[in-house]
Chains A and B, each alone.
Chain A
């Protein structure tokens, strides 16, 4: 592969890897705090899947560059501005409904994303990975959609909380579908789908589920972005200090 292609593939793997790692970390914060025992099993299991995806993507990425010899260097030893994840995934968990709605938005997005990658990607390793990742994200999407409906169409209180969640997420949805320069180049080179091309399927499915939960997808008026350029929310530093603690305090430690 030529150098500019290597850089493009590396950047793409970082973006998706970081999305999965950071959401995996946030989701893992529920361990021991979920509202029921069943959900206390479900959320860490999902976190395990997400972190597993990140690990696999980072391990593909480090094979492309000689600066790295272990995927942990990417996961634990970068600074804030070197992470390329969406702002959506780094936001604080809030209540259970909030966490569930974010998972539903993200996994539904990733489901369509992986489907496209498994059909169109020129990079064989990612194309093959996508086939498997599609199955797992579909399961996450299905799980979270059922909770969105149950809580939205539940009691007055649970509906109120889901309305809150819908409004909390609103500023962060736009970034999922943003086409920047990288997105255009990687689409032209048959690497990743254009984020904007996923919107139609995503919107249809999300609207359908929200409607069953007596909720509505708001028109996206306010749009925050910057995550893909490494410009993160203030809380991201706190998240990293937790995530990176072991590797910073005990360099090269292994489980």
Chain B
């Protein structure tokens, strides 16, 4: 059974997010568990946002990928504990920055305090002299910033 789990995990970890195609599900930290119940795989995922349209795409990606391996799977959503941006791996954070999206700060000290601390580093020129333009960006998970040094606008992955 363990072996089967590993097979499923290895297949799923490399799947990518439909809105951030350079990030894998492993980077995002959305796969909570893989269990086997009555010979069926039950994959539990933690949605990044309750209404995120990418979730249904991720669900069908998971099912299709496992189907190719001959594994029948059911996908369940879990909201507790809630997914937070702290679950994005350090590799994922690095990829976000390389892609021009400022990664979320760790919210150790309380999520809203950190979100409003506005020490956001520009992913283009690494300056901390940046300002928030809007709490919301092109997708539910991003806010909009601009750099006062290099004058470039950029997305910031919101801290929740």
**Residues of chain A having any CB pair with chain B under 8 Å:** 38-39, 41-42, 45-46, 48-53, 55-56, 127-129, 131-136, 138-139, 142-143, 146
Known pairs A38-B134, A139-B158, A139-B160; A53 contacts B50 (CB<8 A): yes
Q: Which residues of A contact B116 (CB under 8 A)?
A: 142
**Of A39, A56, A143, which contacts B50 at CB under 8 A?**
A56
Counting chain A CB atoms within 10 Å of each CB, the highest count among B82, B136, B139 belongs to: B136
Q: Which residues of A contact B53 (CB under 8 A)?
A: 48
> DSSP class of B's interface residues: helix, strand, loop or mixed?
loop
Counting chain A CB atoms within 10 Å of each CB, the highest count among B78, B80, B111, B137 belongs to: B80
A54, closest chain B residue (CB): B51
Q: How far is the CA of A138 from the CA of B82 in the complex (A)?
A: 14
A42, closest chain B residue (CB): B136
Q: Which residues of B contact A49 (CB under 8 A)?
A: 49-51, 140
Q: Which residues of B contact A146 (CB under 8 A)?
A: 135
B81 CB-CB contact with A under 8 Å: yes
**Of A41, A52, A143, which contacts B51 at CB under 8 A?**
A52
The 3 A-B pairs of least Cβ separation, nearest first, read A52-B51, A128-B80, A38-B134
**In the bound complex, do residue B51 and residue A38 qualify as a contact, i.e. CB atoms below 8 Å apart?**
no
**Residues of chain B having any CB pair with chain A under 8 Å:** 47, 49-53, 78-84, 111-112, 115-116, 133-140, 144, 158, 160
**In the bound complex, do residue A38 and residue B144 qualify as a contact, i.e. CB atoms below 8 Å apart?**
yes
**In the bound complex, do residue B81 and residue A131 qualify as a contact, i.e. CB atoms below 8 Å apart?**
yes
**In the bound complex, do residue B135 and residue A139 qualify as a contact, i.e. CB atoms below 8 Å apart?**
yes
Shortest beta-carbon distance, B158 to chain A, in Å? 7
**In the bound complex, do residue B136 and residue A133 qualify as a contact, i.e. CB atoms below 8 Å apart?**
no
**In the bound complex, do residue B112 and residue A129 qualify as a contact, i.e. CB atoms below 8 Å apart?**
no
**In the bound complex, do residue A143 and residue B160 qualify as a contact, i.e. CB atoms below 8 Å apart?**
no
Q: How far is the CA of A128 from the CA of B84 in the complex (A)?
A: 14
Shortest beta-carbon distance, B118 to chain A, in Å? 12
Known pairs A38-B136, A42-B136, A52-B52; A132 contacts B158 (CB<8 A): no
Q: List 14 A-B contacts (CB under 8 A).
A: A38-B144, A39-B134, A41-B144, A45-B140, A48-B53, A48-B140, A49-B49, A49-B51, A49-B140, A129-B50, A132-B79, A132-B83, A134-B82, A135-B160
Q: Which residues of A contact B158 (CB under 8 A)?
A: 139
Shortest beta-carbon distance, A104 to chain B, in Å? 13
Q: How far is the CA of A98 from the CA of B78 in the complex (A)?
A: 35
**In the bound complex, do residue A52 and residue B50 qualify as a contact, i.e. CB atoms below 8 Å apart?**
yes
Q: Which residues of A contact B49 (CB under 8 A)?
A: 49, 52, 136
Known pairs A41-B144, A45-B140, A49-B140; A132 contacts B133 (CB<8 A): no
